[in-house]
């Protein structure tokens, strides 16, 4: 029975494609995949490889495109589609972008843009989330702009690949030298952030060897904040070009963390004496 249903469904979808008209009606994710597998297997495979598909709470076709074909593509291209799942307006990943020049221009002008256009060739005056992260409609989200990992340095073999993939996106609008300079600067900036975290890690390792855990609670808390929030802010600030995240939420906050970690260790030391 199931097989019969599948054949029928397949027949229906092929028929629909032959008419070159997107079928009307509401669909579930499995139906989208079944039909689009025939149309553009590469796109579906890219999605299956992506973190959108592998994540515990997967971003399915329907999650971004809605459950019908009416404006399905243009709906998914808008920032609002991404922002809901990525933590909302106040999440650093979102806020660092929405306060950047790219995000501001998109916010101000998006209502006048033709969102039916492809996410390429500077079809949009400023890039929305999808323009960079799903450039040219690449459904393996994040491969167009390969994700940097803030806690580890980019290997020299990876470096070229990262720069090349990014360049392919940025050069729609920016000059080659500008892209290279910003990229190199960003890498150095991030490395300085990593350096601060490593400095703290050494201090923590020494302290753990000398004092009881109860005396180091504040230091541990601060160290965690450093690694999980402030270093990430530097990285988000660089990636989304937000000076505020690079500095106040990032580097300047890391400076404060180092002071507080040292202060907490000092106290454990003086009380022990």
Q: Which residues bind another protein (CB under 8 A)?
A: 99-101, 104-105, 107-108, 111, 121-122, 125, 171-175, 177-178, 181-182, 184-185, 188-189, 191-192, 195-196, 198-199, 202-203, 237, 242-244, 246-249, 251-252, 255-256, 258-260, 262-263, 265-267, 269-271, 273
Return the closest-CA partner of residue 21 out of 45, 47, 48, 39: 39
Question: Rounded to whole angstroms, how far apart are CA atoms 228 and 265?
Answer: 20
Which residue number, 140 or 257, has a Cβ lying nearer to another protein? 257
Which residue number, 26 or 248, has a Cβ lying nearer to another protein? 248
181: its two tokens: 């300079």
Burial class (CB in 10 A: 0-12, 13-18, 19+), 73: middle
Least distance to another protein, CB of residue 200, Å = 8
Question: Rounded to whole angstroms, how far apart are CA atoms 166 and 155?
Answer: 16
Which residue number, 52 or 102, has a Cβ lying nearer to another protein? 102
250 touches 237 (CB < 8 A)? yes
Which residue number, 171 or 228, has a Cβ lying nearer to another protein? 171
Least distance to another protein, CB of residue 122, Å = 3
Least distance to another protein, CB of residue 74, Å = 19
Which residue number, 18 or 271, has a Cβ lying nearer to another protein? 271
Least distance to another protein, CB of residue 51, Å = 28
Least distance to another protein, CB of residue 239, Å = 13
Encode 144-177: b = buried (16+ Cβ within 10 Å), e = exposed: bbeebebeeebeeeeeeebbeebeebbebeeeee
């Amino acid at each position: 029975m199931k097989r019969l249903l599948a054949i029928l469904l397949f027949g229906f979808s092929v028929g629909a494609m032959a008419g070159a008209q997107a079928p009307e009606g509401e669909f579930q994710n499995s139906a989208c995949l079944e039909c689009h597998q025939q149309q553009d297997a590469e796109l579906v495979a890219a999605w299956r490889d992506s973190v959108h598909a592998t994540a515990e709470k997967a971003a399915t076709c329907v999650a971004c495109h809605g459950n019908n074909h009416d404006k399905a593509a243009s709906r998914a291209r808008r920032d609002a589609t991404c922002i809901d799942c990525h933590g909302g307006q106040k999440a650093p990943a979102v806020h660092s972008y929405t306060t950047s020049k790219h995000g501001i221009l998109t916010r101000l002008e998006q209502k006048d843009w033709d969102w039916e256009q492809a996410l390429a060739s500077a079809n949009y005056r400023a890039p929305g989330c999808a323009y960079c992260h799903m450039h040219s409609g690449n459904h393996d989200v994040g491969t167009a702009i390969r994700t940097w990992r803030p806690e580890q340095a980019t290997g020299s073999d990876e470096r070229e690949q990262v720069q090349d993939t990014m360049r392919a996106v940025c050069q729609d609008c920016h000059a080659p030298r500008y892209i290279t300079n910003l990229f190199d600067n960003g890498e150095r900036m991030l490395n300085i952030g990593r350096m601060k975290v490593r400095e703290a890690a050494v201090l923590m390792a020494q302290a753990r060897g000398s004092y009881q855990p109860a005396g180091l609670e504040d230091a541990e808390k601060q160290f965690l904040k450093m690694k999980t929030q402030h270093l990430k802010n530097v990285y988000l600030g660089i990636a989304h070009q937000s000076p505020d995240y690079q500095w106040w939420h990032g580097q300047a906050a890391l400076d404060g963390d180092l002071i507080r970690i040292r202060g907490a260790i000092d106290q454990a030391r003086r009380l022990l004496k």
